[in-house]
Every structure is written in structure tokens, then in C-alpha cells.
A and B are shown apart, each in its own frame.
Chain A
Amino acid sequence: MINKGYLSTEIVEKLSQEFYKNNALPSVTLMEFFERKEFDRMISEISAINFKVCRRRMEFSYKKSVLPESIKKVISNEFLKAYISSIIGKKIKKIEGEIRVFGWKDYTLINDKTIEKPSVELIIDFSVKMRNDCGGGIIYVDGTGEYSEILSSHNSITLLNRKKGIQKFVKYVNHLAGKDNKIYFIGRIII
């Protein structure tokens, strides 16, 4: 399931160190994470989904769906959970989340109605390559003007410990994206 290049004990230790390097926003992104066959199976199911439009103009605009079977299997896979546990140093009970698609004119905003409680997050990026200036990136802000954009791309996963006071938003996708979309699994790791 996981790219074999990520499986050695030495690499896992390095990833764990990387995860804890930034105390304010512990995070690590692993590119080309899933084996190609596994990832293509997920992509194939995602492309067959009828997404539902979700829009509250003052809060968000995107399309979402319940999880397809292949992704349900992946995020409940014991090996994957043990692997992530060894990076974040915490035992995982379960992972929950949804697929969200961000095309032209989609976004999420941070406001009083969208405040999220702290959590450890898992982002899986299913997008085809989209230029950075098209928007659609996931950005974490601490309320003082400091921000971090996760550098995810096609077949990457990001693990992130979003502490108190840190919120995230998905940057407005502009017309330069054309018909391209950002497709994310946005999940919460329950520990």
C-alpha cells in the first residue's frame, strides 16, 4: 500500500523528527506516498463519484462526497494507522473525514462559525498538478498574521498537529485553474 521507500525504520525516525521540528505547527508531507496501483484504484473511484455542492457564501464553497470504499479501506487499514502512529508518536483509534473538491470559485473562510477544535489532521491530495497561482492550497494561520501553506501535491499525504489557536482555510481557486480541481481527503486522526 505504502511506497516502499518510506518503510525503513531509519526513514520513519527521520519523518518523526521532521514532524516535531516545528513546535508551533508540527507537520510533515510525504510525496508519492501510496503505491501507484493503490493510488490509481482510489483515483478511479473518486472520478466516478457524484459530488454534492456545498455552499454557504460567508463560510465555504466546495463539493463533497461520502468516502468511496477503497478510501474507507485505506484509512481504516491497521498497517497505515500503525505507520502514522510511529511518525506522530501517538496511538490512533481511527481516522475520519471526507473528500472535498475545490474548483474555480471555491474556497473556505475562517470566521466565528467555522472555528475548528484542535486536532491531528491527515490530508491526502488527489489533485492533478495545478499551478500554485491558481489557489486551492491549504493554509494554516495562527491569528497573528503568521501562516503556513502545506506543500501537498498529487499522491502526497500531510500529517499535521493543529494546536489551539491555529485555523485553516483553502485559498480561493481562481479562473487560472480552468477546469482543474484540487481534490483532498481532509481527515481527523482520533487518538
Chain B
Amino acid sequence: MKENQINNWINKDYLTEDRIIKFSRQFKDAKPFSHIEINNFFRAKKLREIEIALKKEEFFLKESDLFKVKQTNDLVSSKQNVLIRFREFLISDEFISYMEKISGLTLGRKKIDLAGSIYEDACYLLCHDDMVTGRKIAFLIYLSTMKRNDGGALLFFDKKMNAKVRIIPKKNTFVFFEVSKISFHEVEEVIVKKKRLALGGWFHD
């Protein structure tokens, strides 16, 4: 079996045609814009390896008017085999096809952005739409679990800027949404001494 085959990486329950159709419907019908949150997405052993490797990467504090967060460089530059293989998997034809089936969007096979992030006490990402030329899908893979009152939740807003969805980070949850001029979202400030570790990035056209 090839290393990068999808069933080596993803919970096998999520690979059936029925399940993919269900995910696709969920993604399309989601409000305030197309998105989906899938729990227990990756195979537990793989996720553990990824988490251990990510924690060995260097994180840099980045601050602007919009955010305060610790981030790795794009993992295209990682020297760790686990992360190199994981990135290769995410950009493999098999996984991109899987994402296309769920999202109904056509995605490129040549480019992916992927970086690790840590939101710790008083880190935040204010509301924005992610609109940058070429971005089609934004995604997050949570590698830690937060409680309801810890902060660090992902909020989705409607056009009137009312929060409509609040996703509380849960380890091994895969969240993705279509990037568009209405994909208004933010990461709530973390208000406890806890680290919200995640991988995130974008699929492109």
C-alpha cells in the first residue's frame, strides 16, 4: 500500500461514497457560508506523529493590527519527514479529489499553503474574509482541545456581521470553508493560560 493513499491518513468511515455525499450536502447547505467541521478526521496514530513533529518546529510571534499569533514558516520548508509526507498527502491528487467532491469546487494540484499556529493567552485573529487571489478553501486541523470559555473558538459571521457559528477547537477536527467575499471569520482571543495548537492553510485554484 502506498504511503500517501488516503486510507492511510483519514478515518476510514469518512471514505465511503455515502459519507462523502453527506459531507457535500452539509458543506453546501452550511450558513452563513459553505463550511464543514469533521471530528476524528485523521487516523489517530498519524495525528500523533504530526503533533509531535509540529511541536519541534520553530514558532515565531507575529503581530499586526489584525492578529497576535505564533506561527511556523510555511511547512514547505520543514526538514521533518513526517511533515513533508503530510504536506505531500494534502496536495496529492487523491486527497484534492476528495476535497473537490465534498466542496464541489475545482482545486489546483500545484499549490497549498500550510503552517502551524499557536494561540496562547491574549492571542487573537480579528474579523477578516481571507480573500487573496487564488485562495479557494481555507482549512484548519486542530491539534488541541479548548473548553467553551477558554476562547480560541472560530467564529463565522453573516453579512450583517452577526456571529452565526462558533466552532470550539477539538483535537483531530478538520474544519474547512470556501473563501469568498462573504467568508467573514475570526479567532476569539484565548483568555486562559493554554495553547491552541493547529495546522492551517489554503487550497488554491
> What residues make up the interface of A, taking CB atoms closer than 8 Å to B?
56-58, 105, 107-110, 133, 135, 139, 141, 169, 171-172, 174-176
Contacts and interface: CB of A to CB of B under 8 A. Distances in A.
B65 A133 contact: no
Interface string B167-190: 000000000000000001000010
Contact of A58 (B68, B184, B191): B184
Contact residues on B (Cβ < 8 Å of other chain), bracket: 10 to 19
B124 A58 contact: no
Contact of A175 (B126, B128, B189): B189
B127 A172 contact: no
Contacts of B65: 107-110, 139, 141, 169, 171-172
18 contacts: A57-B161, A57-B184, A58-B128, A58-B184, A105-B189, A109-B65, A109-B66, A139-B65, A141-B65, A169-B65, A171-B65, A172-B65, A172-B68, A174-B122, A174-B189, A175-B151, A175-B189, A176-B122
B126 A107 contact: yes
A107 B122 CA distance: 14
B142 interface: no
B128 A172 contact: no
Contact of B126 (A109, A133, A139, A141): A109
Contacts of B161: 56-58
Q: Which of the listed residues B65, B121, B126, B189 has the most CB atoms from chain A within 10 Å of its own CB? A: B65
A56 B128 CA distance: 12
B23 interface: no
